[in-house]
Amino acid sequence: MTANDEEMELKDRLSLIENMIAEGRRTTESWAWTFVFWGLAYYVAIAWTVWDQWPWAWLVTMASAWVLCWAIIRRKHKNQPEPKPATTIGRAIFSVWAAMGVSLALLLPALGLSGRFSQHVFVAIVCAMLGVANGASGMIIRWKAQIASAFVWWAATVAACFGSDDQCTAVFLVAIFFCQIVFGIYGMVCEARLRRQRGAIHA
């Protein structure tokens, strides 16, 4: 073996370590679809609220979306050939989103029941919470696209505090489109690309 071959071999080992560490840490579950799913759920809730003017349309849509999302995840797990291992990063991301979900599930109905609910406050709170969850997740996994998504949510949070009700709704619709639908589809493309990049390692 020449010195050059030896160097190549060592570099190959180093690259193998880097790839495997990244592979192990990567949350290999497919989560990008949930962004699209929740984006559509928000649109359904907004449409229902606008057309029917029923104050509990959001709560009913969100609760139904939770049940449906949970059922899909459960079904996906059941059909998996081998369960994915738990990672500290995965648990950190799950914690951020779960805490956000609990906060919204408590705060928004409480605002409605107390009579202190307003469209501007509602949009600002939801956008801020989604900004926090996306920002934290993006920083944990160092994913620039998700951090960019968080900035869009934060911009929407500020914008929701100003202007008319219609402008507030428009801001929310645009933020949902970019941060849920477009970002979700982009995430699905990235996940599909990752799934194709797998090879075999032999002793």
Partner 1 sequence: MPELPELNPVIHGKLRLALLSLLIGVEEAEFTWLRSKTGSTDGNLGAQLLKLEEAGYVTVEKKFVQRKPQTLYRMTEAGRQALTEYVQALKQLLGGAIGG
By CB under 8 A, name the binding residues for partner 1: 3, 6-7, 10-11, 13-14, 16-25, 81-88, 198-203
Q: Least distance to partner 1 from the beta carbon of 105, Å?
A: 28
The Cα 37–Cα 19 span in angstroms is 31
Tokens 């029941």 locate to 113
Which CB sits closer to partner 1, 113 or 201?
201
Q: Least distance to partner 1 from the beta carbon of 175, Å?
A: 33
Which residues are CB-contacts of 124 (< 8 A; sequence separation ≥ 6)?
157, 160, 161
- Distances, alpha carbon 141 to alpha carbons 22, 23, 28, in Å: 11, 13, 13
Which CB sits closer to partner 1, 113 or 200?
200
Q: Let me know: does 160 contact 129? Beta carbons within 8 Å.
A: no
Q: Let me know: does 134 contact 151? Beta carbons within 8 Å.
A: no
Tokens 């291992």 locate to 85
Q: Least distance to partner 1 from the beta carbon of 139, Å?
A: 18
Q: Least distance to partner 1 from the beta carbon of 193, Å?
A: 17
Sign of CA dihedral 129, 173, 149, 159: negative
Q: Least distance to partner 1 from the beta carbon of 22, Å?
A: 8
